[in-house]
Amino acid sequence: MFDSISNFIGSGTGIDSRKLIADLLAASREPKEAVLRSREQANSLKISALASASSSLDTFAAALSDLLDGRAFAGNLVSSDPALATVKFIDGVRPQGLPASLEIQQLASAQRLASAVVADGDVSLGAGTMTISNGSGNFNITLVNGADSLNDLAEAINQSGSGVSASVITDNSGARLVLEGQEGAAETFTITGDFADYNYPAGGGGMTLVSSAADALIRIDGVDLRFGNNTIDNAIPGVSIDLKAAAPGTLITISGDQPTKTISALVGEFVDAYNQLRTALNEATASGGEGGSAGPLAGDAGVREMMRSLSQIGATALVDNGPYRALTDIGVKTNRDGTLSIDKDRLDAVLAANPEAVSDMLDPINPDSNNPGIAGVLQSIRDRLQGEDGALEASQNRLKQIRENLLDARNKLDEDSAQYESQLRKTFANMDRQLAVLQATQSYLTQQIAIWNGDND
């Protein structure tokens, strides 16, 4: 209907109704559109800036955790004789007691047994039960007629869960059953049962002992230690030792070659990263006074709480005891703009006096709620701000609600504009029809007057 009316508008009246409607519609919509667009752009900028601030906090916390990885002050582990022992870090544990001396007096070994030679692995043993006994209990292995070969026995032993592994080894002389337990003296095992030729210990034709189960015997810094296997994780805190060969009387040195991070460098890196985050927050929350531009997060409560929480890091207790408990104790100061600076003379003095105390404060060996260290404090701040009821979460929810409200306002503006355009089209269509009638009447009257005046001659 309105398409036909729009085609009629301005068709004979001399009035450009189409342009007039567009101008009136624009005059009505554009001021409201400009205000709405400005509010949408400002809110989008705030959402983006807030997401960036929250992400920067995540990045800062993650980078700090990576920096304090439990080995920052130990360097790369080195064994003076890798042919006898190799070493590596234990993840999440700071090495202590380095350098250390190691003497390998004896390797841990497993008990191994071998049977007498038979023709081949398919030799039938007959139905019966073998019992393997060790520190874990008694394990019964039963063979039945038709599945009673030497190979069947080996497979059944491997599936018994006894910790003893079995294999059938075949050479030019025939096949033999070989059993091997786990490393360590506590893993000694015995065999009893119906298959007399495979019992141990036993007289006559039982299994032959190839090697006995034994513990690893080592000496760390003069202290004799015994372990059940050749990979040792608790002789030196934070260090895993893999024993390769025994060498009584030979001393191996285990040490860190060079620290990957000095404490002074670590403090400097923390302060630099913190200042980058704080400077960005200062710019994002600038009030815009004295001719400056306001930041997108000026007045945002969530970011204000974030800045307030971060500003307390310097004075927050990182440990509950020791000569140094907070960053301020080692020379880290807060500037007027919230950034940090380092009193180098103070830091050098505490490092000269007690570097281990500073290290333990920054990165406690066993962190807990009372001894969080710097990474723990930052993690706590992040969790509190970003949690379900946190200040940053509240700000994000508020901006999302504003975005939804603006979307509703835009939809309402579109609806109102459509209704106004419809009204204008109806009004101008009616006006155009009335003008057409008037023009027709005027033409008729003009003709009649001409007739009356004799102008038709």
The radius of gyration of the chain from alpha carbons, rounded to an integer in Å, stands at 44
DSSP 97-153: S-SEEEEEEE--BEEEEEPPPBS-TT-B--SEEEEEEETTEEEEEEEBTTB-BHHHH
Inter-axis angle of helices 263-284 and 344-353, nearest 10:
150
Residue 67 pLDDT:
72
Residue 360 pLDDT:
85
Question: pLDDT, tens digit, for every residue of 283-305?
Answer: 888 887 666 678 888 888 999 99
Long-range contacts of 414-420 (CB under 8 A, 24+ apart): 417/25, 417/28, 417/29, 420/25, 420/28
Domains delineated in the chain: 1-72+265-457 (no CATH), 77-107+216-256 (no CATH), 110-211 (2.60.40)
Q: Reduced to 3 states, what is the DSSP secondary structure of residue 110?
A: strand
Residue 258 pLDDT:
56
Residue 227 pLDDT:
97
Q: Report yes or no: 243 and 107 within 8 Å, Cβ to Cβ.
A: yes
Residue 8 pLDDT:
42
Tell me the pTM. Answer: 0.58
Q: Report yes or no: 19 and 27 within 8 Å, Cβ to Cβ.
A: no
Q: Reduced to 3 states, what is the DSSP secondary structure of residue 180?
A: strand
Residue 440 pLDDT:
80
Q: What separation, in Å, do the N-terminal and C-terminal C-alpha atoms of the chain show?
A: 46
- Tell me which DSSP letter residue 214 carries: B
| Sheet hosting strand 100-106, strand order edge to edge | 77-79, 252-256, 100-106, 216-220, 223-227
Looking from the CA of 58 toward its CB, the CA atoms found within 13 Å total 9
Q: Is the dihedral of CA 32, 33, 36, 42 positive or negative?
A: negative
Inter-axis angle of helices 301-311 and 17-67, nearest 10:
20
**CA distances in angstroms from 155 to 55, 137, 424, listed in the order given:** 56, 19, 93
C-alpha–C-alpha distance, residues 448 and 431, integer Å:
26
Degrees, nearest 5: CA angle 132-133-139: 55
C-alpha–C-alpha distance, residues 325 and 190, integer Å:
57
C-alpha–C-alpha distance, residues 431 and 425, integer Å:
10
Residue 437 pLDDT:
78
**CA distances in angstroms from 296 to 42, 63, 357, 395, 421, listed in the order given:** 7, 26, 42, 13, 36
Closest alpha carbon to 266 in 67, 62, 56 = 67
Q: Look at the block and give the residue holding tokens 């969080």.
A: 372
Degrees, nearest 5: CA angle 15-20-25: 160
Give the residue ranges of the chain where pLDDT is below 50. 1-11
Identity at 54, one-letter amino acid code: S
